[in-house]
């Protein structure tokens, strides 16, 4: 088969077009390409091998990792590459790929998360008297400054109650009258005068604009009717420079969650969350997977942090 036919054959696959487009201006590892495209490593490696055979890609080793980039091209090679990139932009995955590319490049600069994962991985390996997540949690709570916090979709107020012990004022919002009544009674019983429960929706929380320092959406967004609108509402109530912390499930296929847990959404793709945060006006957006359950259906938890 001639080099031209090999190149045409290599570019006759949507996944390989996506890879070429991602490498247009960046050098990426196999793991990074996997994170961006959400494809299995074996599948990514197969496509990279086919593209490398045509010399459309070049690679280099860095320790245990292999990085790929677009290879040196003659006039025909440049023509093929430009055509592939143009075709990739017509694919439905292209917008999400570009969002995930920006996120992955940002993660390169965030070595603190890698270190945390390493520490967390060591934590349960050996027993030590007094070493527990409960104790560490209380230690970390002591570090909280006197913030005004909105806990959106608070439920009975577990998080709100914890942070109220250190924060200036906490507003817990939920759309269930029973949850709000229960949380308010419990706060009163525990003497938490700075914890206030309000009845309201995520999309229109009953909180004044630019009045809180920190907004929290903890496992609440997948209950929202319109997640993008809920994120925009969180942006609206934050003071300039305020922070949003969002914990939710990574997109999954466990459809029983609709019935078992009342979930409207089966988690979220990182690209969608990043796009909604950007559209709402947030900056300094960081997203990372912070937990994976060992038991089926292997739910993954995503942490998003952003600044107004």
Beta strand extents in 153-237 (DSSP E only):
169-174, 195-199, 212-218
pLDDT recorded at residue 172: 97
Q: For strand 169-174 and strand 65-70, is the pairing parallel, antiparallel, or unpaired?
A: unpaired
pLDDT recorded at residue 45: 92
The answer, yes or no, to whether the previous bond of 297 is cis (omega within 30 of 0) is yes
Q: How many CB atoms lie within 10 A of CB 152?
A: 30
Question: 305 in helix, strand or coil?
Answer: strand
Give the span between the Cα atoms of 236 and 231, in whole angstroms: 9
- State the maximum Cα–Cα separation within the chain, in Å, rounded to a whole number: 80
When computed from its CA atoms, the radius of gyration of the chain, rounded to whole angstroms, is: 23
CATH tag, 111-120+143-307: 3.40.50.150
Look at the pTM and tell me if it is higher than 0.75.
no
Enter the tokens of residue 198. Answer: 């309000």
Enter the tokens of residue 155. Answer: 């439920």
Q: For strand 300-307 and strand 283-292, is the pairing parallel, antiparallel, or unpaired?
A: antiparallel
The answer, yes or no, to whether the previous bond of 106 is cis (omega within 30 of 0) is no
pLDDT recorded at residue 111: 54
Q: Which residues contact 95 (CB under 8 A, 6 or more apart)?
A: 271, 275
Q: For strand 195-199 and strand 283-292, is the pairing parallel, antiparallel, or unpaired?
A: unpaired
pLDDT recorded at residue 154: 95
User: Which DSSP category does 59 fall into?
Assistant: E
pLDDT recorded at residue 113: 54
Give the span between the Cα atoms of 95 and 118, in whole angstroms: 32
Contact 243, 213 (CB under 8 A): yes
* Average pLDDT for runs of 10 along the chain of length 308: 79 93 92 92 92 88 87 79 91 92 78 56 61 73 88 93 93 95 94 96 96 97 96 98 96 92 93 95 92 88 95
Domains in the chain: boundaries: 3-94, 111-120+143-307
Enter the tokens of residue 167. Answer: 């924060």
Task: Spell out the CATH class of 3-94.
Answer: mainly alpha
Looking at 165-301, list the stretches that DSSP marks H as alpha helix, in order from N- to C-terminal side: 177-189, 227-237, 257-261, 270-280
pLDDT recorded at residue 15: 94
Q: How many CB atoms lie within 10 A of CB 115?
A: 10
Enter the tokens of residue 35. Answer: 């994170």
């Amino acid at each position: 088969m001639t080099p031209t036919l090999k190149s045409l054959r290599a570019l006759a696959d949507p996944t390989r077009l996506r890879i070429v487009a991602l490498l247009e201006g960046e050098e990426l590892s196999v793991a990074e390409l996997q994170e961006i495209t959400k494809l299995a490593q074996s599948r990514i490696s197969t496509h990279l091998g086919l593209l490398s055979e045509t010399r459309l890609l070049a690679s280099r080793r860095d320790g245990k990792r292999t990085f790929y980039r677009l290879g040196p091209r003659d006039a025909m090679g440049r023509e093929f590459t430009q055509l592939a990139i143009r075709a990739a932009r017509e694919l439905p995955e292209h917008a999400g790929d570009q969002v995930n590319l920006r996120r992955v490049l940002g993660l390169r600069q965030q070595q603190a998360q890698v270190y945390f994962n390493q520490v967390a991985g060591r934590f349960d390996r050996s027993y030590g008297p007094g070493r527990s997540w409960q104790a560490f949690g209380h230690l970390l709570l002591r570090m909280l400054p006197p913030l005004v916090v909105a806990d959106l979709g608070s439920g009975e107020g577990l998080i709100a109650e914890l942070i109220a012990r250190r924060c200036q004022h906490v507003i817990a919002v939920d759309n269930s009258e029973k949850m709000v009544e229960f949380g308010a009674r419990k706060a009163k019983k525990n003497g938490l005068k700075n914890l206030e429960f309000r009845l309201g929706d995520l999309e229109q929380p009953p909180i004044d604009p630019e009045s809180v320092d920190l907004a929290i959406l903890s496992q609440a967004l997948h209950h929202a009717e319109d997640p993008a609108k809920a994120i925009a509402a969180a942006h609206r109530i934050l003071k300039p420079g305020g922070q949003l912390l969002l914990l939710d499930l990574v997109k999954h296929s466990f459809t029983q969650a609709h019935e078992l847990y009342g979930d409207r959404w089966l988690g979220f793709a990182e690209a969608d969350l990043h796009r909604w945060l950007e559209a709402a006006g947030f900056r300094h957006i960081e997203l990372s997977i912070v937990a994976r359950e060992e038991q089926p259906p292997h739910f993954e938890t995503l942490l998003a942090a952003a600044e107004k």
